[in-house]
Amino acid sequence: MNQVIMSKTLNIFRKLIFAHILFLIVMSVFRTVFFFYYSPLNSLDGFYLDILNAFILGFRIDLTVIGYIQAIPTILLIVLYYIKKEVLLNYFEKFLVYYLFIFFFIVSLLLCADFGFYSYFKEHINILFFGLLDDDTKALMITFWQNYNVVLILAIFFAYLAFLFLSIKKIFSIKNKNYNSFLGLKISALIFIILFILNFLAVRGTLGMYPLGKMIPNVSTNEFINKISHNGFRAYTNALSARKKYLARKYDLLKATGYKGNIEKAFEVYKGTSDINKEDLLKNITYQTKKNDDKEYNVVVIMVESFGLPILKYQSEKFNILGELKKHFDKDILLTNMISAGDGTISSLQALLLNIPHRPTSFAFSQSIYKQTSFAYSPAFLYKGQGYETSFIYGGDLTWRSLGQFVKHQGYDNVEGKINIFNHLENINKEKDEYFHPWGIFDEYLYSHILKKLEISDKKQFIVALSTNNHPPYNIPNDCKSKSLIYNDEIKNHITGDFDLAQQRFKSYAYAVDQVGVFLDKFKKSKFKDNTIVVVTADNNTIDGIMKYDDNQLLNSKNIPLYFYLQEELKEKIDVDTKVTGSHKDIFPTLYNLTLKDQEYISIGANLFDSSLAHYGFNGSMIVTNKEKVEKLKSIEEQTNSKVLNYYKANLAITQYLINYYHKKGKE
């Protein structure tokens, strides 16, 4: 053993360890801030041990990140030792200051990104993160600038980076010690084998079968406490892996659900019998409508951005969050046990448009190989075949997620975005910019456009609309007069995070839902009220990101409203259970049976007004609702004895089979 070179090598290892300890402390501080900022716990009683275990597990996960960062220095130091050039070690030591700083900087950025992501989705970074990166970049920057004190945040972040860099530099300026051995060992090969094994164990984080970053165990019965352990870097790498697999076409839902090569079994689970049509499997999800009258109706379906239901429990004269919509919710049909198909707008929208559940960790159809696939079984094709003029109206840019390009292949005669809406406005009396917010046109103009379309129509109308308000940065029109939003202690005690930002979000929420009420006010005074069915729902409950609940966390986090305006004579002919469970996949099967006579249709979902059927809500976070049951899969591959969860997995397999069928058919 060359004592001088070995001593120099071990000194560099020692300084690396000091730097890593510093950054582990930083990561633990970040986890502590995350805990206190987002904690929904009213009391820590009964959870102290769980929280301690979560922080210990979190430290181990952080150590895996350090292990990855350390891997290259470990290998290079071993190589440099055997080259036996002290000058190279000196240069390498200087290089390590910048190497560590760059990697610590990247990890810090991902920790911050994860912190922001959690505020919106109440989840650590997942595959939806890449969808956000595909969003309108300018709008994202405006959102960030308007919602946060960017100057202060950047000042703090740059001060932190300066502290980090100077600390690393200070550590590497520590005077070297004279090492004759390592743990009593003087044989270089044994020393390096031990260092390599320690580095390897740090990367794995465990002696178990699966690396810690891939399989993170639960330490508590409380969902939030289990989330404390995760960190943004490992969450990002897992999401990146899922994205790469999808882009490489390794996303195999049939295999994940256990039905690859045995899809007939999925249909048997779906039907609840082995007596299925094996010659034409799609016949097993093909139905015929049972319309209650001979009247023809226009159909208007509106998806309102981020219109979560749980906040409405605080509705009052002082906290008038519903505004003009309240009287319509009171008078008409409101289903209150619905959950969103996805946690993002695009995932819920495509589930609605295609009558399917959202497939977990999948990418948007509009940004995938299905971008130009015509799903000829879907709603617009059916209504078009029955003589309807079909329109899709989006309050934003149709270039968002390439949505316009996808929708035009789904049977819509008209595909319109914010510019189309603006160009059809009458009595423009403001500056053009005052009609828009960063993500689109203000909702009131979207609704006036729908009314105008009904007014000038000379044939039956089928309209699907997606709004854009109630979205960061939570702008409302300059001339908007907000309803009373006085926050009592009960509301304040159920809000987490920045209260000022929460107030801004609720103000935007109130504007968005109030404008739905204004639209319905005008609609019910028009001639269309007698021959038009209106449905209002939401894409998700993203306000969940700043709320905590007293009970039923899983249901409340995904809970959205589903409103139907039906004529009184039609309402009397149907069986309405306002507590029925369901999700976006069920909306059009319900409408088919109200508006289309003797029409065959393919659907994964069910008619919500048919009490003879079993009803389920499916959310892409692998949450399933059925009557009073709310259950969740840990992963699609998970083996379970739950009939509800196995039914969900069978539905996902059938969904993929249906998608594959029409994609293949489109290429023929």
601-617 pLDDT, tens digit per residue, is: 999 999 999 999 999 99
* pLDDT tens-digit series, residues 18-50: 999 999 999 999 999 999 988 888 888 888 998
Higher pLDDT, 364 or 519: 519
* pLDDT tens-digit series, residues 236-277: 887 787 677 666 666 789 999 999 999 999 999 999 999 999
Average of per-residue pLDDT across 1-9: 75
Residue 43: its pLDDT value, please?
A: 84
Q: According to the per-residue pLDDT averaged within each range, which of 125-134, 175-184, 648-657 is highest? A: 648-657
Q: What percent of the chain has pLDDT over 90?
A: 61
User: Is residue 453 scored above 80 in pLDDT?
Assistant: yes
Residues in the chain: 668
Residue 247: its pLDDT value, please?
A: 67
Supply the DSSP string of 325-341, one letter for each residue: GHHHHHHSEEEEEEE-S
Place of tokens 């989006």: 394
- Other beta carbons within 10 angstroms of residue 568's beta carbon come to 6
Residue 398: its pLDDT value, please?
A: 87
Distance CA 382, CA 380 (A): 5
Average of per-residue pLDDT across 480-501: 89
Please give the structure tokens belonging to residue 563: 């409103």
Strand 286-288 and strand 414-416: pairing?
unpaired
Residue 248: its pLDDT value, please?
A: 66
Residue 34: its pLDDT value, please?
A: 92
Residue 543: its pLDDT value, please?
A: 78
Higher pLDDT, 14 or 351: 351
Q: According to the per-residue pLDDT averaged within each range, which of 305-314, 493-502, 650-659 is highest? A: 650-659
The closest of 638, 612, 611, 610 to 624, measured between CA atoms, is 638
User: Is residue 345 scored above 60 in pLDDT?
Assistant: yes
User: Is residue 189 scored above 80 in pLDDT?
Assistant: no
Whole-structure pTM value: 0.76
As beta bridge partners, residue 461 has 389
User: Is residue 114 scored above 80 in pLDDT?
Assistant: yes
pLDDT-derived band at 135, boundaries 50, 70, 90: low
